[in-house]
Structure 1
Amino acid sequence: MKNVLVTGFDPFGGESVNPALEAVKCLAHLKTETYAVEVREMPTVFGKALDCLYAAIEQVKPDLVICVGQAGGRPQMTVERVAINVNDARIPDNEGNQPIDTPVVPGGPVGYWSTLPIKAIVQELNRQGVPAAVSHTAGTFVCNHVFYGLMHYIAESKAAIRGGFIHIPYLPEQAARQPGQPSMALETIVKGLKIAIDVAVELEEDIVTMGGQIS
Structure 2
Amino acid sequence: MILLTGFEPFGGESTNPSWQAARRAAELLREQGREAAAVELPCAFGRSIDALEAALGRFPAEIVLCVGQAGGRGDVSVERVAINVDDARIPDNAGRRPIDEPVVPGGPAAYFSSLPIKACREAVAALGIPVEVSQTAGTYVCNHVFYGLMHLLAQHAGPRGGFVHVPFSTEQGEAHGQPGLAIDVMAVALAAIATTAADTDRDVRVAAGAEH
Fold shared per TM-score above 0.5: yes
Sequence identity percentage: 48
In structure 2, list runs of 5 or more residues that go unmatched.
none
* 8 Å Cα contact 2:121/2:132 also seen in 1: yes
Which residue of structure 2 lines up, in the alignment, with residue 212 of structure 1? Answer: 209
Q: 2-side partners of 1:13 and 1:32: how far apart?
A: 33
Alignment deviations for residues 17-42 of structure 1 (CA, whole Å, 9 cap, x no partner): 10001111213454267731111000
User: Number of paired residues?
Assistant: 211
Which residue of structure 2 lines up, in the alignment, with residue 176 of structure 1? Answer: 174
Q: How does 1:2-17 map to 2 (within 5 A)?
A: 3-17=1-15
In structure 1, list runs of 5 or more residues that go unmatched.
none
Which residue of structure 2 lines up, in the alignment, with residue 159 of structure 1? Answer: 157
Q: What is the CA-CA distance between 1:110 and the residue it aligns to?
A: 0.2
Alignment deviations for residues 147-173 of structure 1 (CA, whole Å, 9 cap, x no partner): 000000111x23311000000000111
Match of 1:31, SS state, is helix
Amino acid aligned to 1:45: A
Q: What TM-score comes out, normalization by structure 2 length? A: 0.96
Question: What stretches of structure 1 move > 4 A for 4+ residues in a row?
Answer: none
Which residue of structure 2 lines up, in the alignment, with residue 21 of structure 1? Answer: 19
Match of 1:198, SS state, is helix
Amino acid aligned to 2:82: A
Amino acid aligned to 2:187: V
* 8 Å Cα contact 2:84/2:104 also seen in 1: yes
Q: 2-side partners of 1:34 and 1:117: how far apart?
A: 22
* 8 Å Cα contact 2:91/2:97 also seen in 1: yes
Amino acid aligned to 2:3: L
Match of 1:176, SS state, is helix
Amino acid aligned to 1:165: F
Alignment deviations for residues 120-160 of structure 1 (CA, whole Å, 9 cap, x no partner): 111111111111000000000000000000000111x2331
Q: What TM-score comes out, normalization by structure 1 length? A: 0.95
Match of 1:7, SS state, is strand
* 8 Å Cα contact 2:10/2:93 also seen in 1: yes
Alignment deviations for residues 71-92 of structure 1 (CA, whole Å, 9 cap, x no partner): 0010000000000000000000
